[in-house]
Amino acid sequence: MLEITSPITGERLRVAENDFEKILDWFQAKSACGELGNGWRLPTRSELELMYKDLHKKGNGNFKESHYWSSTEYGGYSAWFFSFDDGSANVTSNKSRALYVRAVRAL
């Protein structure tokens, strides 16, 4: 089981064992995570950064060396994504861009 502690709330979170099978745009990503039920959701930008540092960099979680959507919006028209290849967070105004998705939920 993959777990992290939210850097913002201190809440323990379960991280899904795998990415969704297909890359998704931001709207599909939010919807697909919610459709898992039981509190599953798209992680925040800071949660993705923690997943990168505490899981991926230690060889856990089977993450792709690619970009992952976050739930964190920027100005209403843009959203943050996190790069698991170099550990950087970036903003894009193209929410229809297809990226990898990994869901989280509170324990």
Domains of the chain: which residue ranges? 2-106
17 vs 10, which has greater pLDDT?
17
Cα distances from 36 to residues 9, 11, 57, 60, 100, in angstroms, run 22, 20, 27, 22, 16
The domain covering 2-106 belongs, at the CATH homologous superfamily level, to: Mannose-Binding Protein A, subunit A (3.10.100.10)
The pLDDT of 24-30, averaged and rounded, is: 98
pLDDT in tens, 60-94: 999 999 999 999 999 889 999 999 999 999 999 99
CA-to-CA distance for 16 and 61, rounded, in angstroms? 8
Query: What is the pLDDT confidence band of residue 8, given thresholds at 50, 70 and 90?
Result: confident
Tell me, what's the pLDDT at 6?
A: 85
Tell me, what's the pLDDT at 12?
A: 96
Tell me, what's the pLDDT at 28?
A: 98
Tell me, what's the pLDDT at 75?
A: 87
Average pLDDT over all residues of the chain: 96
